[in-house]
Amino acid sequence: MNVWVYVQGSKGAPTSASLELLTKARSLGDVTAFVGGDGAALAEAVGQHGAAKLYATGDLGGRLPGPAVSAAMQAVIEGGDSPDLIMFPQSYEARDVLSRLSVKLGKTVLTNNVDVAAAGGAVTVTTPIFGGNTLVSTTFTGDGPFLAGFRPKSFAAEPSGGGAAEVVAAAVPEVGPTGAAMVVATHVEETSGPKLDEAAVVVSGGRGLGEQAKYELIETLAKLLRGAPGASRAIVDAGWVPYSYQVGQTGKVVKPGVYIAAGISGATQHMVGMKGSKNIIAINKDKEAPIFGIADLGIVGDVHKVLPKLIEALQSR
């Protein structure tokens, strides 16, 4: 089977979600990577993770990737190199490319997947629903290329020891008015400490903190544990912390060694982003809160009492 993986670059390296998909793709068949942007800097890492060939569009000159990159992919496919399956990491950029390509090729797309299997040409993907307590398997029908989006951290990234991938230019055809959206400025929201989706410890706060100023407790605790601070959507929507802190279905997927949820109820959309954590500690004053259903250690109590004491105990060590 021929599998393409959409690779996204960030600061000159493939994102971890891209490497996870390359690793999985290797177990399904021959792997080719496709990047919307410059290929040269990524060729080494992409090759090490199992792709022999890397199609690259080259710099997009400020255009949003969706229309341009999907058109480049379509051109390669219609030019004769057609894969059976294309795997996309579910990032902002890749989701746009995936959706546009689906219309261009007239193919269905399946998103939110956490697993994929291939048997005798049939491709089946697995998607968690209801906050992850039920798994639905869906098989593509008709002819490929089958298009599938995967949640980050669905697979472990492991190098295969291959050499650098061969970079092949994939030209971007004229896309007309659909390609008219241009990036005029880029803003990076700096956070200190480890990245939320890579940290070994994540401490998240929710509406139970009561007010924005109390989020400081979360930041202090995260720092003491050399972890990253996170948040439920309720307090992101309330403007207490930036969107980049959000854990859950529309935020980041995290799988740290320890996840501490303080004043978070445990809505299905939150749990889907943190259920894979090795150990979960929850602090909530409502003993019926759903978060206790998945906690390894649950403290039924007031965050304003438990957190200051916990911080003090850690500071005095």
Partner 1 sequence: MNVIVCVKQIPDPALPGALDSSTNTLKRDGKLILDESDSYGVEMALQLVDKAGGGEVSLVSMAPNGEVSGLRTALAMGAAKAVLVSDPALQGSDALTTARVLAAAVGRIGGADLVIAATESSDGYTGTVPEQLAEVLGLPSVTFAKHVEIDGSTLKASRQTEDGYDEVECPLPALISVTAGVVEPRYPSFKGIMAAKSKPVDTVTAGDLGVDPVGWAGAGQQISDVAKAPERAAGEIVEDDGEGFAKIVSFLENLKVI
Ligand X SMILES: Cc1cc2nc3c(=O)[nH]c(=O)nc-3n(C[C@H](O)[C@H](O)[C@H](O)COP(=O)(O)OP(=O)(O)OC[C@H]3O[C@@H](n4cnc5c(N)ncnc54)[C@H](O)[C@@H]3O)c2cc1C
Q: Interface residues for ligand X in 252-311 (CB under 6 A)? A: 263-265, 267, 269-270, 273, 283-286, 289, 302-304
Instruction: Tell me the C-alpha distance between 87 and 184, whole Å.
Output: 29
Least Cα distance to 76 among 98, 57, 49, 50 occurs for 57
Site for partner 1 in 49-78 (CB under 8 A): 64, 66-67, 70
Least Å distance between CB 52 and partner 1? Answer: 27
Q: Is the dihedral of CA 87, 90, 96, 100 positive or negative?
A: positive
Binding ligand X by CB under 6 A: which of 3, 110, 234, 295? 234
**8-16, 65-73, 159-167, 249-257 -> range binding ligand X (CB under 6 A):** 249-257
Which residues does 132 contact at the CB level (< 8 Å), separation at least 6? 268, 271, 272, 275
Binding ligand X by CB under 6 A: which of 36, 144, 251, 298? 251
Least Å distance between CB 168 and partner 1? Answer: 25
Binding partner 1 by CB under 8 A: which of 57, 112, 154, 265? 112
Binding partner 1 by CB under 8 A: which of 92, 159, 163, 210? 92
Site for partner 1 in 169-188 (CB under 8 A): 176-188
Least Å distance between CB 77 and partner 1? Answer: 16
What does residue 59 show for φ and ψ, rounded to 5 degrees? -55, 135
Query: DSSP code of 157?
Result: -
Burial class (CB in 10 A: 0-12, 13-18, 19+), 86: buried
Residue 48 or 90: the one with the smaller Cβ distance to partner 1 is 90
Residue 207 or 223: the one with the smaller Cβ distance to ligand X is 207
Instruction: Tell me the C-alpha distance between 43 and 54, whole Å.
Output: 7
Residue 61 or 161: the one with the smaller Cβ distance to partner 1 is 61
User: Taking every pair of C-alpha atoms in the chain, what is the biggest distance, in angstroms?
Assistant: 66
